[in-house]
Amino acid sequence: MKLTILAPGHFHAALVQKKMYADIEPAVHVYAQEGTDLDDYVRKIESYNARDEDPTAWRLQLHPGADFLERFVADRNGDVVVISGNNQRKTEYLSRAVAAGVHTLADKPMAIDATGFAALGRAFVVAREKGVLLYDIMTERHEITTVLQKEFSTIAAVFGELLKGTTEHPAVTKESVHHFSKRVSGAPIKRPAWFFDTAQQGEGLVDITTHLVDLVQWECFPEQIVDYRSDIELISARRWPTEISPAQFAKVTQLERFPDYLHKDVQRNGNLHAYANGEINYTIKGVHAKVSVLWNFEAPEGAGDTHFSVMRGSTSNLTIRQGKAEGYQPLLSIEPVANTRMEVFSVALEQALPKVQEKYPGVGLKRAGTAWEVTVPASYHVGHEAHFGQVTEQFLAYVKKGSLPVWEVPNMLAKYFTTTEALAIASISPKQ
């Protein structure tokens, strides 16, 4: 298959190409506006080609220019297109791609507001009519502790039944902490200035929360269709800013000043308010869930982006922590609830472990007080960047098969309904 890259403004576009694929030709057509976004993408691909260990062999064929979208549609050089960049026009790009009959793998979010959600719904209809696949890049489904959290939740003797929860005590809680300044592929990240503009990037409620809402659906209702018209009820949503100083902005963008389109978010003290933080409380098929995303400027020494997650069952809670106590590495704990008989629970765990090990050899359990820690061989911790290759391989397998699982499209719609409707709710109240 031939690969095309369209408007690679985000470094995730390059991460898809951090490895080679048996089903993809090395020659890749790239359509984009001339500028620093394209230059940064090309440099990343060149660095992968030039690295000493397992170098890639991509041959980029660039098609720069203001009319790049029209040229992409007219040329139709690829069988599969990857779209990862400025979110302001992403729904338009993916809509044009599927209308042109190209299988489309789009970075999240595929929609950043209610208008985009409506357009996304139409795009899925067109994709079905054209016989092509439209899919988003959900890397967190490949993170091993999340995979094992889902696995143990399916074992009734260990987890029991998923609780319904309440707004005050949700059955499922997921929190993701991110940082504007960090390292990617071993080098300090350079963020495009538009990344800080919610009109172009989208607010936190519709960006990173896409992953969290996806995981709630994927873990709690595996391979089940979620109908956003009947299965989702939004309870509350809120948003608040991260304050970025001019010096911090310059550090991650390499720009000396805020561009004009950001002046609307610059405060009297000269700092930028980036509305990247958000929280959503909702029910899905009657189960209470809470997801939240937090953006700090920079991580503490030795830390990076972190994830917290808990699934509450009638027999035990499955909790992922990734804080200082865990060395900033994700750790899954199985924590029996208060009325659980420990002797019976211990036997149930012992009997369940071989079933898990059949799928994930080497995974073990270690007693830690009243809980058990799930031990995972280092080989499973491949890192966030490698997950892009795993998602891409999965998508290529779907393309070869000619279809997605029947639940994927309705669940993508449910996911983006949840995030965009949450933004609409939060927008009713003044920004915090």
Predicted pLDDT at 327:
85
Instruction: Quickly list H helices, 232-370.
Output: 246-253, 342-359
Predicted pLDDT at 325:
86
pLDDT in tens, 122-135: 999 999 999 999 99
Please compute the mean of the pLDDT values over residues 1-15 and round it to a whole number. 95
- Lowest mean per-residue pLDDT among 55-59, 120-124, 380-384: 380-384
* CATH numeric code, 3-136: 3.40.50.720
In the structure, what pLDDT confidence band is assigned to residue 306 with cuts at 50, 70 and 90?
A: confident
- Among 279, 286, 288, which residue's Cα sits nearest to residue 230? 286
Cβ–Cβ < 8 Å for 100, 94: no
In the structure, what pLDDT confidence band is assigned to residue 173 with cuts at 50, 70 and 90?
A: very high
Residue 242 has pLDDT above 90, yes or no: yes
Residue 184 has pLDDT above 90, yes or no: no
Residue 183 has pLDDT above 80, yes or no: no
Residue 34 has pLDDT above 70, yes or no: yes
Q: How many helices (H) and strands (E) does the chain have?
A: 14, 17
Question: Taking the model in full, what pTM does it have?
Answer: 0.94
- Among 135, 132, 180, which residue's Cα sits nearest to residue 304? 180
302 versus 90: which is more confidently predicted?
90
Please compute the mean of the pLDDT values over residues 310-321 and round it to a whole number. 98
Please compute the mean of the pLDDT values over residues 231-248 and round it to a whole number. 97
Residue 324 has pLDDT above 90, yes or no: no
Please compute the mean of the pLDDT values over residues 168-197 and round it to a whole number. 90
How many C-beta atoms lie closer than 10 Å to residue 387's C-beta? 18
Please compute the mean of the pLDDT values over residues 418-423 and round it to a whole number. 97
What integer best gives the mean pLDDT of the chain? 95
Predicted pLDDT at 135:
98
Cβ–Cβ < 8 Å for 173, 289: yes
Residue percentage of the chain with pLDDT more than 70: 99
Cβ–Cβ < 8 Å for 203, 423: yes
Domain boundaries along the sequence of the chain = 3-136, 141-384
- Among 209, 171, 278, 276, which residue's Cα sits nearest to residue 418? 209
Please compute the mean of the pLDDT values over residues 387-416 and round it to a whole number. 98
In the structure, what pLDDT confidence band is assigned to residue 380 with cuts at 50, 70 and 90?
A: very high
Cα–Cα distance for residue pair 416/5, rounded to 1 Å: 23
User: What one-character DSSP code corresponds to residue 141?
Assistant: G
Q: How many alpha carbons lie under 13 Å from residue 201 in its C-beta half-sphere?
A: 21
Residue percentage of the chain with pLDDT more than 90: 88
Could you give the angle at which helices 209-220 and 408-428 cross, rounded to 10 degrees? Answer: 130
Q: Select 141-384's CATH number: 3.40.50.970, 2.60.120.10, 3.20.20.70, 3.30.360.10.
A: 3.30.360.10
Please compute the mean of the pLDDT values over residues 275-298 and round it to a whole number. 96
In the structure, what pLDDT confidence band is assigned to residue 429 with cuts at 50, 70 and 90?
A: low
Please compute the mean of the pLDDT values over residues 96-101 and round it to a whole number. 98
Domains 3-136 and 141-384 share a fold: no
